[in-house]
Chain A
């Protein structure tokens, strides 16, 4: 029954976080800082992973097709794989590791060094001050990172296909356009918004309730990553069933 305690405490923390900020000017500054921290500072790792993912999918698909399967299948497969699953799911999982551990350790350190107590004693709603800007930034910026990942992944697939001679550019372009549905992108972005919320709020939860010292902050950071990934995966299954069927 321990998990019910955590769900209840998580919900109460969210309720405390989603209150009107004390001062909008302060919230705006914090939001911009978080957009930079979660978004801009993650562009490099997202770009690197997406380029290699797109290129590898292209090579793997080319390796498996032959005979009667047309070459444009390579472009089709790279597009579908990147848009439907790799970008919207794997990028948030990577961000859960990079951003989630950062959020949990930052808030956890503030907890064990009494900085959160200092906020509370001043009369600041510490949950709203610390968590709301991170969650709003995550929900807003993660979809942009995922779109960037889709574009770079498909682009890298096209480049490696042409560079290795496995797929002429015209075939790849044709494959990219075959049976394209805008709904697939909307489905992917819907998932991404939910995953952005999960990875920021679950990590913040583990940091906010950290107790003890450096060791516990480290443990809370690990828990934040593990639970963010687990919840993202479960949500992925539920959302896919709801949205695609």
Chain B
């Protein structure tokens, strides 16, 4: 479980996070949704330590991440996998080398063990035949799947996905959503997905946190989301005709 307690973050005069508290459960896909600029990416960056919050604490299974030294944080970082919006694969490495990279840096595995583990991860995301390609030779969907394979290579306890479906066609997006769901359940990972894609939310979410103007305004699940109740949430969720029609049918 990951817990955020009273996170605050400002950039100059711009107060981005205002007393954000949330908990993300183990074995579930926890979605953080909200409009662009609402503060969800900053919240995620504070959670993984890419940005230091001005106030508040982040706990990983009871371990206070915010009060740890960089050296202590390394232990937790090796338990974190992250899928980036743009995949963030290393251009100069092949798909296989990308997946092997965290193993090479942090495990004592032999070269053949690393190779086998990377092959198993690529098999899991159905990319066994793409191992010798470079990221530039892969489609957007393939790059996301390689990103997932790299993220799970170290058997992470926590998985963060930043806009995992951005730039993907609806069919490929569903493949990625299902993959994230399946992996979360299979490995019992605490997964946090930052997204504003309502299709993904309806497809893969177990719990949902709605961020508006730096605050978590609402949290619940898919069914609760369709019920609405909070004005800002309703404006966000039912912005499209399709979602309004779905609400009527439900």
Residue positions of A touching B, CB distance < 8 A: 22-23, 26, 109-110, 113-115, 117-118, 120-124
Contact = CB atoms under 8 A, between A and B. Distances in A.
Interface string B152-165: 00000000100000
6 contacts: A22-B105, A115-B90, A118-B82, A118-B88, A121-B160, A123-B73
Interface of B: 48-50, 73-74, 77-78, 80, 82, 84-86, 88-91, 101-102, 104-106, 160
Interface on chain B toward A: helix, strand, loop, or mixed SS?
Answer: mixed
Contact of A122 (B85, B89, B102): B102
B50 A124 contact: no
Contact of A113 (B50, B74, B88, B102): B88
A114 B77 contact: no
Nearest to B48: A121
A106 to B, nearest CB: 9
Most buried by A among B88, B91, B104: B88
A223 to B, nearest CB: 22
A114 B73 contact: no
A124 B104 CA distance: 11
Contact of A114 (B78, B85, B105, B106): B85
B50 to A, nearest CB: 6
Given A121-B80, A123-B77, 10 more contacts: A22-B105, A113-B86, A113-B88, A113-B91, A114-B85, A115-B90, A117-B84, A118-B84, A123-B73, A123-B105
Nearest to B74: A123
Contact of A26 (B82, B90, B104): B104
SS of A interface (majority): helix
A114 B104 contact: no
B86 A114 contact: yes
B84 A26 contact: no
B88 A114 contact: yes
Contacts of A122: 77-78, 80, 101-102, 105-106
Kindly list the 6 A-B residue pairs having the minimum CB-CB distance in the complex, ordered from nearest: A123-B77, A114-B88, A118-B88, A123-B74, A114-B84, A121-B82
A170 to B, nearest CB: 52
A115 B90 CA distance: 6
A121 B105 contact: no
A117 B90 CA distance: 11
A109 B86 CA distance: 12
B139 to A, nearest CB: 17
Nearest to B90: A115
Centre residue among A23, A26, A121 by max chain B CB count within 10 A = A121
Contact of B105 (A109, A113, A117, A124): A124
Contacts of B85: 114
Given A121-B80, A122-B78, A123-B74, A26 B86 contact: no
A151 B203 CA distance: 69
A113 B136 CA distance: 13
A234 B90 CA distance: 36
